[in-house]
Amino acid sequence: MQSDNPTAAILVIGDEILSGRTREGNAHHLAGVLTATGFDLREMRIVADDHDQIVAAIRALDSSLGGAYDLLFTSGGIGPTHDDITADAVAAAHGTTVEINDEARALLQARCDRMGVELTPNRLRMARVPVGATLIDNAVSAAPGFSIGRTHVMAGVPEVFRGMVDWLIPRLPGGQPAQSLSVEVRRGESEVAEELQALAAEFPDLSMGSYPFHDERGWGTNLVVRGLDGERVAFAMSELKRLLKL
């Protein structure tokens, strides 16, 4: 699909994801939001809680560091424990250091005061932010995310992540949301491959995919046409149905 939309990547950080202990859902959620708001998501990665791996991934993905994409969104590793090392790795990737951010400290102190608890050193770790970064609001638990360069760093806790996404995405310059249409056929992929290939050649500006499934009625395939021009997507879908005699 041809597009001038900003390109994006998602970096998920956490041993618990790689071990299978935690089911990853943040990238899936953000992918849908990005598609709906005019960003072209091009890559997802998952890395361990390993400083060097995180640094290498950020440098490879953030265009402000010579990486591949206009925007990079990360999930995980900014909590209060010793293995929450994302802030340090992001700072290293961007050639800066981490310090207690005064605004972040004030947000955490206010929340602790409301809850009647102490702002302990571990809780204060969540105010450690790379020098030069700006904060991402966290309406759920106060501990902010942050943005530096083209990297936007958010929490791994799903509810908090989604709140940060809701705050951040409207503040970024997006593009034109993709339009899509789909049709379900009770045929295997191999039975529709020729027609889909012919249509893809006729409409090189559109994206076309086939997604097989199996249910109580047997095998079938969902055929999807995507593009930025809704009328052209609709015309291509009508042509596909004609080719398949639907």
The confidence score (pLDDT) of residue 82 equals 86
From the number of C-beta atoms within 10 Å of its C-beta (0-12, 13-18, 19+), residue 88 rates as middle
Residues 156 and 81 in one domain: yes
**Token reading at 74:** 């990360």
**How large is the C-alpha radius of gyration of the chain?**
22
Residues 189 and 129 in one domain: no
Residues 123, 142: Cα–Cα separation, whole Å? 11
Give the tens place of pLDDT for each residue, 113-125: 999 999 999 999 9
Residues 79 and 195 in one domain: no
Last residue of a domain, one of 171, 189, 223: 171
What's the Cα-to-Cα distance from 151 to each of 25, 88, 133, rounded to whole Å?
A: 20, 13, 10
CATH number of the domain residue 239 falls in: 3.30.70.600
Residues 38, 162: Cα–Cα separation, whole Å? 18
The confidence score (pLDDT) of residue 168 equals 98
pTM across the whole model: 0.89
What's the domain count of the chain? 2
Residues 163 and 186 in one domain: no
From the number of C-beta atoms within 10 Å of its C-beta (0-12, 13-18, 19+), residue 50 rates as middle
Last residue of a domain, one of 123, 139, 171: 171
Residues 146 and 199 in one domain: no
Burial code (b: 16+ CB inside 10 Å, e: under 16) for 169-181 equals beebebbeebbbb
Residues 212 and 139 in one domain: no
Give the tens place of pLDDT for each residue, 77-106: 999 998 899 999 999 999 999 999 999 999
The confidence score (pLDDT) of residue 171 equals 96
Q: Is residue 76 left, alpha or beta, with left meaning phi > 0 and alpha meaning psi from -120 to 50?
A: left
**Least confident range of 1-5, 40-44, 54-58, 191-195:** 1-5
Nearest residue to 193 via CA among 216, 210, 178, 207 = 210
Residues above pLDDT 70, as percent of the chain: 99
> Does any domain span residue 2?
no
Is there a contact between 1 and 205 (Cβ–Cβ < 8 Å)?
yes
* pLDDT band for position 1 (cuts 50, 70, 90): low
Residues 145 and 204 in one domain: no
The confidence score (pLDDT) of residue 174 equals 86
Give the range of the structural domain holding residue 204, as residue numbers without chain letter.
180-243
Hey, how many other C-beta atoms are within 10 angstroms of the C-beta on 18?
15
CATH number of the domain residue 113 falls in: 3.40.980.10
What's the Cα-to-Cα distance from 84 to each of 75, 117, 152, rounded to whole Å?
A: 11, 22, 16
